[in-house]
Amino acid sequence: MSSSLTLRPIGLIRTQKQVKFQAGHQPSETAEERNILELFPDCNYELALRDLAGFERVWLIWWFHRNPTWRPLVLPPRGPAQRRGVFATRSPHRPNPLGMTPVRLLGIEGRRLILGPCDLVDGTPVFDLKPYIPAYDAFPETAAGWIDEVDAQLRQPARFVVSLAAHATMQAQWLRENWNIDFIPRLGELLARDPSVHRTRRITRRGPELRVIGCGAWRAVFRVEGETVEVVALEAGYPLRFLTRENHEEVPDRDAQMAFLERWPERPAAAE
């Protein structure tokens, strides 16, 4: 028996999510999303798709292609800062970087599949498709270990009240109006649940009073007092010297970040 296997993607998915921060930990079923899985030509995939129409959902088996490494213990983004064995999680940092997502199948047009909400970033390679079969795949009453415990906590109302200070409000408005960028709802959701320092949630300390959370290519600086969180400023995630380097045209929101830095120049490191 061979000890390794070479997989070739059958196609790439096109989604609106350019950075991992924008993709939920699992798809948000209430989101109005249309994603396109474009299968490669000249592989007979049109034929392989025969009879798939009629299934309301398909499993996507896909590649966490942006993650070069894996870890035996991971810090899940939900719940308390507690490391879990990677096989007890859906972490993207796995020895074989395979993701699986049961997405809604909205239509098939030749080699293009129109899909509902998903948790894949744009350009993710997909290896396989299988019909989702409730009789085989759904066991809703099954116990789910530590996830059940965390879910019970999450069902409690969010503990923190999040607000934006005037400066952050102005920056958020500028981003929305000029660049159609709006990560504030997701930021609010995350901070309302738990603004504590957490590596996977990308929350770090800045000085004695402030904390910073990474939001994809952006950052938000905030302070916590009791059960209130105040976002005091937004920041570009990358410094200007990085954004202006050649070959960095692909950095997410690069033009918006450069314009943002022109409007709100970087603070000298000493001020941090």
Neighbours of 183 (CB within 10 A): 21
DSSP H/E element including 204: strand 203-206
User: Bridge partners of 163?
Assistant: 230
* Distance in Å, CB of 265 to ligand SAM, minimum: 30
* Distance in Å, CB of 117 to ligand SAM, minimum: 11
Q: Could you give the CA distance from residue 29 to residue 18 in angstroms, rounded to a whole number?
A: 19
Residue 26, interface with ligand SAM (CB under 6 A)?
yes
* Distance in Å, CB of 227 to ligand SAM, minimum: 27
Q: Which is nearer to ligand SAM, 70 or 174 (CB)?
A: 70
Residue 20, interface with ligand SAM (CB under 6 A)?
yes
List 37, 105, 119, 216, residue binding ligand SAM (CB under 6 A): 119
- In the block, tokens 């948790």 appear at 119
Q: Could you give the CA distance from residue 102 to residue 22 in angstroms, rounded to a whole number?
A: 18
CB 213 within 8 A of CB 198: no
Neighbours of 33 (CB within 10 A): 18
Residue 228, interface with ligand SAM (CB under 6 A)?
no
Q: Which is nearer to ligand SAM, 116 or 167 (CB)?
A: 116
Q: Which is nearer to ligand SAM, 23 or 203 (CB)?
A: 23
CB 204 within 8 A of CB 211: yes
Q: Could you give the CA distance from residue 12 to residue 45 in angstroms, rounded to a whole number?
A: 13
Residue 120, interface with ligand SAM (CB under 6 A)?
yes
Residue 99, interface with ligand SAM (CB under 6 A)?
yes
* Distance in Å, CB of 184 to ligand SAM, minimum: 18
Q: Which is nearer to ligand SAM, 124 or 171 (CB)?
A: 124
Q: Could you give the CA distance from residue 102 to residue 59 in angstroms, rounded to a whole number?
A: 4
* Phi, psi dihedral angles at 137 (to 5 degrees): -105, -15
Residue range at the interface with ligand SAM (CB under 6 A); choices 115-123, 205-213, 233-241, 249-257? 115-123
Residue 153, interface with ligand SAM (CB under 6 A)?
no
Residue range at the interface with ligand SAM (CB under 6 A); choices 24-32, 44-52, 144-152, 202-210? 24-32
Tell me the torsion sign for CA atoms 42, 46, 49, 53.
positive
- In the block, tokens 């396989």 appear at 128
Residue 204, interface with ligand SAM (CB under 6 A)?
no
Residue 183, interface with ligand SAM (CB under 6 A)?
no
Burial label for 175, CB within 10 Å (0-12, 13-18, 19+), is: buried
Q: Which is nearer to ligand SAM, 93 or 223 (CB)?
A: 93
DSSP H/E element including 230: strand 228-236
Residue range at the interface with ligand SAM (CB under 6 A); choices 45-53, 92-100, 242-250, 256-264? 92-100
Footprint of ligand SAM on this chain (CB under 6 A)?
A: 20, 23-26, 64-67, 90, 92, 99-101, 119-121, 124
